[in-house]
């Protein structure tokens, strides 16, 4: 497989010239009452795609999208019902994305992965080849965890870690983790004294920072802690990370001073994919 040199992204403003970007969005940002946020998200991805960037979307939301069609008012606790909701919701989720992408003439490709796929060398190579070919063909891959066959992985950081692994798999220039909060804070942002963390140098363990429990309106499983852990993983593999709100994705991809920026390991960032 031909190796690809990364475009150096050492700060937010470099995101505007990144050539390969992985964007992850959480369940609560694009499902339920927020389903109308899909179009603005897609518009931002299409703008990056239009300037020549290769874009991968890692999207949670299959279970949340399927829940109302199974008559469920809350995220189910048992695994078989979660799998059933995911089976129904994944189809609808991809349909919604493709309908929105059609406005820009972009075709989506569905990629379902599990933690086991990423750990198995053969499965990993197959996934890497498929992703590279999709990107070469100017298809926008939409990645989600394969919830219908997952076990404990179904609650694996609301796809934050999966997004970091995908960024590593494709040697992305940058990873953007989107949620309902504009940045990471020194403590839950609703608490007194919480301060925005603007930049995280590589190797900074964020000592003294308090991350609250996940709060995704009962449909997601991730939180600030999983995003910080995923960001550190991606940064160690050479991919810098921006953590911000889904509503700021257009600004983020344009290099605006938003969110929390995790610097990557310089040596790994200079390496080829």
The predicted model gives 195-215 an average pLDDT of 85
175: tokens are 């990873």
- Tens-digit pLDDT profile for residues 145-194: 887 776 654 455 568 999 999 999 999 999 999 999 999 999 999 899 99
- Asked if 58 and 159 count as a contact pair (C-beta separation under 8 A), the reply is yes
Indicate the helix (H) or strand (E) that contains 97.
Answer: helix 79-101
| pLDDT value of residue 273 | 47
Give the contacts of 206 (CB within 8 A, at least 6 positions apart): 197, 200, 228
Task: Please give the model's pTM, rounded to 2 decimal places.
Answer: 0.92
- Tens-digit pLDDT profile for residues 76-86: 988 899 889 99
Which range among 140-144, 196-200, 210-214, 254-258 shows the weakest confidence by mean pLDDT?
Answer: 210-214
Query: Domains plus CATH for the chain?
Result: 15-267 (3.40.1160.10)
d(CA 203, CA 226): 17
- Tens-digit pLDDT profile for residues 22-49: 999 998 899 888 899 999 999 999 999 9
- Asked if 61 and 27 count as a contact pair (C-beta separation under 8 A), the reply is yes
Query: Given a cut of 70, is residue 1 above it in pLDDT?
Result: no
d(CA 241, CA 183): 12
d(CA 232, CA 244): 15
| pLDDT value of residue 97 | 97
| pLDDT value of residue 104 | 98
């Amino acid at each position: 497989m031909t190796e690809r040199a990364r475009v150096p992204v050492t700060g937010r403003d470099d995101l505007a010239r990144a050539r390969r970007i992985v964007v992850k969005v959480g369940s609560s940002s694009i499902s339920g009452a927020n389903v109308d946020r899909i179009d603005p998200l897609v518009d931002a991805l299409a703008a990056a795609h239009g300037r020549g960037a290769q874009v991968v979307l890692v999207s949670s939301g299959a279970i949340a999208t399927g829940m109302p069609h199974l008559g469920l008012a809350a995220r189910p606790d048992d695994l078989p019902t979660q799998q059933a909701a995911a089976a129904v919701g994944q189809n609808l989720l991809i349909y919604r994305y493709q309908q929105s992408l059609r406005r820009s003439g972009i075709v989506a490709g569905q990629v379902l992965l599990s933690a086991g796929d990423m750990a198995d060398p053969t499965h990993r190579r197959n996934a890497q080849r498929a992703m590279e070919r999709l990107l070469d063909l100017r298809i926008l891959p939409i990645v989600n965890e394969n919830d219908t066959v997952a076990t404990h992985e179904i609650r694996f950081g609301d796809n934050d870690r999966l997004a970091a692994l995908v960024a590593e798999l494709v040697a992305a220039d940058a990873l953007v983790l989107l949620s309902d909060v504009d940045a990471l804070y020194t403590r839950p942002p609703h608490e007194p004294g919480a301060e925005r963390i603007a930049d995280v140098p590589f190797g900074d363990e964020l000592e003294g920072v308090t991350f609250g429990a996940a709060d995704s309106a009962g449909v997601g499983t991730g939180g600030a802690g999983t995003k910080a852990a995923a960001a550190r993983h991606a940064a160690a593999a050479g991919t810098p990370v921006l953590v911000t709100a889904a509503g700021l994705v257009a600004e983020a991809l344009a290099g605006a001073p938003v969110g929390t920026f995790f610097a990557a390991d310089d040596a790994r960032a200079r390496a080829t994919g």
